[in-house]
Amino acid sequence: MTVEAATVALADVGYPRCIGGEGACPPEDCGGIPGYERLREVLADPSAPEHEDVLGWLDLPSPGRARPDPFRRPRRRPETSR
């Protein structure tokens, strides 16, 4: 983990939040270490026959782009006790 900046928390932002994660860990069901190595090779080579299929399976727009949005949860409204 790298701390890039220390700032004041904003009232309208939910914390903690995911802001990235490229190459952080293997995806589920990729075949262990050998499967992850192969996955990275395929993503690094746009001419690989399975390149587009792997991008689709990972739901990535491009090989180097993680999508943190699926990890952001909407803020919950406090429950009322009436």
The 3 state secondary structure assigned to the chain is CCCCCCCCCCCCCCCCCCCCCCCCCCCCCCCHHHHHHHHHHHHHCCCCCCHHHHHHHHCCCCCCCCCCHHHCCCCCCCCCCC
Q: Report yes or no: 20 and 66 within 8 Å, Cβ to Cβ.
A: yes
Cis peptide before 46 (omega within 30 of 0): no
Tens digit of pLDDT for each residue in 26-42?
888 888 889 988 988 99
Given a cut of 70, whether residue 11 has pLDDT beyond it is yes
Tens digit of pLDDT for each residue in 20-76?
666 667 888 888 889 988 988 998 898 999 999 988 888 777 766 555 555 555 555
